[in-house]
Structure 1
């Protein structure tokens, strides 16, 4: 039987880059190669632009709400880039950048936040589950998908995202327990951004870290600097490989910070001040990775301009797609409620159709 201490996370979050973007020696994890880091940087730039553009669309009244992941993009990008084509991503409402990095059209991703009646994208096309608004409910679904894939003999790993607030929910604990008992190939990736809306981490848990919670279920835990893109990639690579090899579920806690308000409807000045937010600016994952790539002479001015243009093209497509006015037909209220409509739905649809026909006469 494995030593319980083998399940415990590192005493300090794993780091491969310091705050200035200089490599930190780590003998246990391979440093991602230049091509991978450049791809991650590209996704970071696009992701930051997606966050900023979505915020602007909220202010213009084109989106009902947007929970920004500004400052957390390394977690978002890393969670998607470590997955294979046959793997699944289970995101939360704040994981738009992760979903976009997985290949889903940003306009489709934001359809839900625009207030449409559907989630906006086909989950099976890119193997991305619908973004979950209730905390932690998607984690049990992720375990079910992983277990089903294992029973079918498929080489599938499921990346299940959540925040620190979700670890206080019962579904989080049930999901870890089921996954451990079933040895389901799931990576539980907790983005600890210090706040569950307005509740600070210290009022959510007394554990040494959120990654320590894994040992109670026999799940291996690890901690990573969530603003260090290189470390996020390396730690999640190892977690995905372990889950895929049959080692069972893995729990990774990323230490990051929510730089902006919970959503546009939140006033974060009521529960934190600028002195707390300020130091995290120096830990920005985008500037840290950019500094490294410039130092390695991988990121030239021409390449940086090309990446910026790509991000601007994504933002332009978002503006056009989200700003396009739709004219939904009232009958769509009944179109996709059940595969086989109930008698009550048929009756209600008939009443509506009759009223619409009378108005047109």
Structure 2
């Protein structure tokens, strides 16, 4: 796990080869690690903020381990769906750096509101990766405690979680839990397609007007299911923030270091009472929108190949090799750990017991309701009508 802070004093690391400055109005990404694995010491953003990280070698290796494990577990879930063990799965393939970088940037007191694809952030919050698989297998409604892990339940309705996050962040501010280093910040995840939803734009309005301690984190993976980005917006998404009265910035979402630095800075601004901001993590969905989708119907192979050259894991591995931070033994050990964890995940999914049908009513309301009791009784009679039937 990476724990270093961007801008912290260097701890014995060799100097990075160069720096780069992003100019105001330039849609150039904030980037600290090139696709070839070359480290950039620092980047000055449009507002003059210097973005940098200074991690220990172990922390760099930890980020690489996170990326590999998250991808392998995601691939296993996709395979389980293809074999009929899950009803559906929304893969994060290609978006690992955006999720691991932002997930590791969260402090323990911060609260996250995900969509249905933030498996990498979930992993970084310490939640057992089997939890979302129970949801997509249909045996539960997601089994983690949002208060314990500071990670809300998956939200299937596109963009709805941004309103949930805004309300929660308004409460944080009203409770006086901002203004200090140990203040609480909130992050809301959504995709580029969700920016066309009314919920998201309403969340922008409320968060801006009430100066909520909230970071809107848009994973721009270039496609809203089958619609390309140019069907969603006439300007870069991060520039939309200006119309709502708060800053926006675009980061290379395939660069785990830059994503960490930008997200940590935005969260710290929020916790100190400086209000909301929008991060556009510019990345690419390498696979299908979900396992019900066929991306070959709306994008060409050469586009996918171009983005494969920017793969977040490959560039982190190249950096570790270039700086002699890791060797073949380390990479082999990580691959073996990923294999073991994937096998364990598969075995536990296959061992999940099928729930009794009537349990669907158990957690609708904390104290039940007369209408719910009536529906439970009707459903029970319906199930009993099949007893003794020959199938």
- Pick from 249, 254, 263 the counterpart of residue 222 of structure 1: 249
Superposition deviation, residue 341 in structure 1: 2.2
Question: What are structure 1's unaligned runs of at least 5 residues?
Answer: 1-7
Distance in structure 2 (CA, Å) of the matches to 1:355 and 1:217: 52
Partner of 2:300: 273
Partner of 1:194: 222
Partner of 2:210: 182
Does residue 1:119 correspond to 2:147, yes or no?
A: no
Does residue 1:237 correspond to 2:242, yes or no?
A: no
Does residue 1:16 correspond to 2:32, yes or no?
A: yes
Partner of 1:212: 239
SS of equivalent residue, structure 2 residue 35: coil
SS of equivalent residue, structure 1 residue 26: strand
Distance 1:271 1:79, change over 3 A: same
| Matched-pair contact (CA < 8 Å) for 2:226–2:298 | yes
Superposition deviation, residue 95 in structure 1: 1.3
Distance 1:214 1:357, change over 3 A: closer
Partner of 1:146: 169
Distance in structure 1 (CA, Å) of the matches to 2:190 and 2:349: 26
Of structures 1 and 2, the one with the larger relative CO (CA 8 A, separation 6+) is 1
Partner of 1:5: none
TM (norm. structure 1) is 0.92
| Matched-pair contact (CA < 8 Å) for 1:185–1:243 | yes
The C-alpha deviation readout for 1:40-80, integer Å capped at 9, x for no partner, is: 11110111101211111011111111111111100010121
SS of equivalent residue, structure 1 residue 20: coil
| Matched-pair contact (CA < 8 Å) for 2:103–2:120 | no
SS of equivalent residue, structure 1 residue 131: coil
| Matched-pair contact (CA < 8 Å) for 2:32–2:52 | no
Does residue 1:291 correspond to 2:309, yes or no?
A: no
CA RMSD of aligned residues (A): 1.9
- Greater Cα shift, 59-68 or 148-157: 148-157
Counterpart mapping for 1:24-173 below 5 A: 24-27=40-43, 28-33=50-55, 34-154=57-177, 155-173=183-201
Question: What are structure 2's unaligned runs of at least 5 residues?
Answer: 1-23, 44-49, 178-182
| Matched-pair contact (CA < 8 Å) for 1:9–1:222 | no
Distance 1:194 1:57, change over 3 A: same
Superposition deviation, residue 352 in structure 1: 5.1
- Pick from 228, 232, 247 the counterpart of residue 274 of structure 2: 247
Matched length: 352
- Greater Cα shift, 312-321 or 160-169: 312-321
Distance 1:324 1:289, change over 3 A: same
Structure having the higher helix fraction is 1
Superposition deviation, residue 134 in structure 1: 1.4
SS of equivalent residue, structure 1 residue 179: helix
Partner of 2:374: 347
| Matched-pair contact (CA < 8 Å) for 2:41–2:52 | no
TM (norm. structure 2) is 0.85
